[in-house]
């Protein structure tokens, strides 16, 4: 079910009747007064039927356009499913990102290298893993735990109270940009399940990364025991 963010005010109600003799249908339209009470019952007119059909068709077209793209697909796309239940898997290399941490971690905000990553998302949920290689991965590529706070052992990301809003007609490029912004734009705050996702101290690692500006130490990452093939759509 889609999450409704706007306030919708009921103003009409449809009553559908079915004949016992031949299972034919009759649709009656009711206006609603300020108290939500049905008034002015009348047969659903042709004009009203067309207006309702157009509204439903517009909603369907928007859903069908989810994760649409024009031209050649980016080299970073590993798998894609478009439409209402669309989702995608993509990867990023070792790049510099601005990172934010809650004060309780005593890690300064700043720019640091993050490891190559695998991303998997639909409109509601994001999962991330790390890689110890550069370039395009294949199905046998081994996955590592993403060396960040707020990530479950299975790769799912906890966004806390962050409001995730991905439009139903979102393009593929906007979709990827939005999820990466949500991930790096929110504040990293805590380990989930108490399991440290790297060999060593995660706090100290990110302090060094931000102050020294070095490439992320891939040797410190932990294997998940899974390959890319196991998380594809």
Residue range 82-105: mean pLDDT, rounded: 95
Query: Nearest-CA neighbor of 179 among 233, 230, 118?
Result: 118
Q: Please tell me the pTM assigned to this model.
A: 0.75
173-195 pLDDT, tens per residue?
999 999 999 999 999 999 998 88
Q: Is the dihedral of CA 158, 190, 160, 217 positive or negative?
A: negative
| Mean pLDDT along residues 92-105 | 97
- What does the pLDDT read at residue 62? 54
Residue 36, pLDDT score = 76
Q: What is the pLDDT of residues 144-155, one digit of tens each?
A: 999 999 999 999
The answer, yes or no, to whether residue 103 has pLDDT greater than 90, is yes
Question: Which residues have CB under 8 Å from 55's CB, separation 6+?
Answer: none
Q: What is the pLDDT of residues 112-157, one digit of tens each?
A: 999 999 999 999 999 999 999 989 999 999 999 999 999 999 999 9
Q: 75-107: b or e for each residue (b if 16 or more CB lie within 10 Å)?
A: eeebebeeeeebbbbbbbebeeeebebeeebeb
How would residue 3 be classed by pLDDT, with cut points 50, 70 and 90? very low
Residue 34 has pLDDT above 90, yes or no: no
* Whole-number percent of the chain with pLDDT over 70: 90
What DSSP line would sit under 156-214, residue for residue?
BBP-TT------TT--HHHHHHHHHHHHHHSEE---STT--SBSS-HHHHHHHHHHH-P
Beta-strand pair 117-121/87-92: antiparallel
pLDDT confidence of 107, banded at 50, 70, 90? very high
Check pLDDT > 80 for residue 63: no
Structure tokens at 160: 């806390």
């Amino acid at each position: 079910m889609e999450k409704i963010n706007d306030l919708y005010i009921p103003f009409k109600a449809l009553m559908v009747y079915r004949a016992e003799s031949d299972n034919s249908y009759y649709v009656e339209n009711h206006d609603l007064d300020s108290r939500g009470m049905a008034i002015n019952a009348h047969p659903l007119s042709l004009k009203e039927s067309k207006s309702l059909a157009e509204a439903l068709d517009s909603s369907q077209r928007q859903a069908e356009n989810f994760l649409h793209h024009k031209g050649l697909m980016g080299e970073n796309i590993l798998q894609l499913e478009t439409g209402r239940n669309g989702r995608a898997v993509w990867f990023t290399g070792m790049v510099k990102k601005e990172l934010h941490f809650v004060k309780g971690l005593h890690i300064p905000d700043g720019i640091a290298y993050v490891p190559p990553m695998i991303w998997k998302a639909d409109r509601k949920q994001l999962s991330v893993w790390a890689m110890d290689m550069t370039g395009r991965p294949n199905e046998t590529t081994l996955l590592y735990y993403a060396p960040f706070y707020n990530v479950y052992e299975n790769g799912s990301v906890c966004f806390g109270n962050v409001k995730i809003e991905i439009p139903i007609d979102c393009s593929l490029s906007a979709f990827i940009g939005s999820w990466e912004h949500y991930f790096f734009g929110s504040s990293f705050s805590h380990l989930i399940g108490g399991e440290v996702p790297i060999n060593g101290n995660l706090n100290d690692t990110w302090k060094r990364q931000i102050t020294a500006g070095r490439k992320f130490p891939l040797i410190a990452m932990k294997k998940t025991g899974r390959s890319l093939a196991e998380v594809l759509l």
